[in-house]
């Protein structure tokens, strides 16, 4: 499954990331991680103190990748609306859900400050980045000054996360896509045009 050139710690982190996304923390056993990574128990515990240490490394890596992909979409040239649209309409594995957002439903992740921190930081970063774009749009006359940046940012994140839930519940990306189009229509009607 993983490249031969990947180190054992990298294979363990990647295997844990996949398993966390599919099964959550509780459903991800050390044995499953070892099997998926093609690593033995000794290797796992040589590189990581235990399951929570490995899960933290995996969650951090997933959070970094989510930030990078969001920034790639939000950092495009264009108006605030175009940048938000780029983020909302970017390629996603909708039916799998958000690998960071899904962790908020895992009681063991949310109960522990250490495992919850990268999830909370990433969602906070995203809201802050979106709020800054909305503010820029207001200042340039692209978006209505009636829009409250922090509230619109929270609405965007909530719509994306809720879109994942609707898509998974229906087994179709149609509900997610409809939510993104609906949100963009609302933003468009609140533009300066």
Render pLDDT for 104-124 as a digit per residue (tens, 0 to 9): 999 999 998 999 999 999 999
Q: How far apart are CA 139 and CA 133, in angstroms?
A: 10
Across the chain, mean pLDDT equals 93
Render pLDDT for 126-157 as a digit per residue (tens, 0 to 9): 999 999 999 999 999 999 999 999 999 999 99
CB count within 10 Å of CB 84 equals: 24
Q: Where are the domains of the chain?
A: 8-189
Segment 149-172 mean pLDDT:
97
Say if residue 1's pLDDT is above 60. Answer: no
At 193 the pLDDT is 45
Q: How far apart are CA 101 and CA 157, in angstroms?
A: 10
Beta-bridged to residue 143, according to DSSP, are 191
Q: How confident is the model at residue 5 (pLDDT cuts 50, 70, 90)?
A: confident
CATH-assigned architecture of domain 8-189: Orthogonal Bundle (1.10)
| Phi-psi domain of 24 (left: phi exceeds 0; alpha: psi -120 through 50; beta: other) | left
Say if residue 3's pLDDT is above 80. Answer: no
> How many residues are recorded in the chain?
193
Please check whether residue 113 is in contact with residue 160, taking contact to mean a CB–CB distance below 8 angstroms: no
Say if residue 24's pLDDT is above 50. Answer: yes
Segment 87-100 mean pLDDT:
95
Quote the Cα angle for 9-15-21, to 5°: 135
Q: How far apart are CA 182 and CA 184, in angstroms?
A: 5
At 162 the pLDDT is 97
Strand, helix or coil at 1?
coil
At 191 the pLDDT is 64
Q: How confident is the model at residue 192 (pLDDT cuts 50, 70, 90)?
A: low
Segment 35-57 mean pLDDT:
91
Q: Which pair of tokens denotes residue 147?
A: 């829009």
């Amino acid at each position: 499954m993983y490249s031969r050139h990947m180190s054992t710690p990298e294979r363990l982190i990647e295997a844990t990331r996949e398993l966390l996304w599919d099964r959550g923390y509780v459903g991800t056993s050390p044995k499953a991680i070892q099997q998926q990574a093609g690593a033995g128990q000794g290797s796992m515990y040589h590189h990581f103190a235990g399951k929570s240490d490995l899960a933290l490394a995996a969650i951090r890596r997933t959070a970094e990748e989510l930030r990078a992909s969001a920034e790639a979409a939000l950092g495009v040239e264009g108006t605030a609306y175009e940048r938000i649209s780029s983020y909302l309409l970017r390629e996603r594995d909708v039916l799998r859900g958000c690998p960071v957002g899904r962790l908020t439903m895992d009681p063991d992740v949310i109960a522990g400050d250490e495992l919850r921190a990268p999830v909370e930081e990433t969602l906070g970063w995203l809201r802050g980045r979106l709020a800054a774009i909305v503010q820029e749009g207001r200042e340039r006359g692209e978006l209505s000054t009636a829009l409250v940046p922090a509230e619109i940012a929270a609405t965007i994140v909530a719509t994306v996360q809720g879109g994942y839930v609707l898509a998974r519940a229906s087994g179709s990306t149609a509900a997610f896509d409809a939510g993104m189009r609906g949100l963009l229509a609302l933003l468009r009607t609140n533009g300066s045009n």
